[in-house]
Chain A
Amino acid sequence: AQKITQTQPGMFVQEKEAVTLDCTYDTSDQSYGLFWYKQPSSGEMIFLIYQGSYDEQNATEGRYSLNFQKARKSANLVISASQLGDSAMYFCAMRERDNYGQNFVFGPGTRLSVLP
């Protein structure tokens, strides 16, 4: 079963507008972490934001905020004031514990295109 679901293969947003990238997850762990990464065409994975399962407040990092709804098991990324440089693939990921320690699982990704 898919542990991380990103239902939007591609998204378009106008420059300077906000955009929400969806992410839902599936886990039976009580303690887990949720991450968002950006992957530009160069291929490098850039860490954007982290939310722990016990964190009561939504994480924020500059223009990035994570809309964490634990009961719905969703962790949507909100990018405010989009910039042309935000065009990239965005991956939602989850860290959970398995029998061997910690395990990271990535979603299929959403390609964001920012329009001038």
Chain B
Amino acid sequence: GAVVSQHPSWVICKSGTSVKIECRSLDFQATTMFWYRQFPKQSLMLMATSNEGSKATYEQGVEKDKFLINHASLTLSTLTVTSAHPEDSSFYICSASPTGSRETQYFGPGTRLLVL
């Protein structure tokens, strides 16, 4: 149980295009989902907290218009990197906390984005 999927797992795109990454909780409902970014050999940096049915809360320094987050249902959150540039190349990981559970979060397998 407690499986989180991400799609796609790998994406290569041209500079200036937009990329959408999906995060799904497969066997539980998640009121809250988190989006992280991880550069090579660095730790995870929280980008935003996504709450179902409301606007996402972005961490300081993260551009809201650049990284659009939609949490339309209790099992799906999407992150859209708009007008991607090479500096957006990174490993993006989502996680989900089961509704009513504060004790843990389950991570997706991550999405590697390479912007050429």
Contacts and interface: CB of A to CB of B under 8 A. Distances in A.
Interface of A: 33, 35, 37, 42-47, 50, 52, 91, 95, 100-109
Interface residues of B, number: 24
Contacts of A109: 42-43
A44 B43 contact: no
B110 A101 contact: no
B95 A45 contact: yes
Contacts of B110: 43-45
Contacts of A33: 102-104
A44 B92 CA distance: 11
B interface, over-half SS:
strand
B106 interface: yes
A83 to B, nearest CB: 22
A104 B32 contact: no
Interface in B34-63: 34, 42-46, 49, 51, 57
Contacts of B44: 45, 91, 106
A35 B95 CA distance: 14
Contacts of A52: 103
A102 B93 CA distance: 18
Nearest to B42: A108
A101 B109 contact: no
Given A91-B44, A95-B102, A108-B42, A100 B49 contact: yes
B107 interface: yes
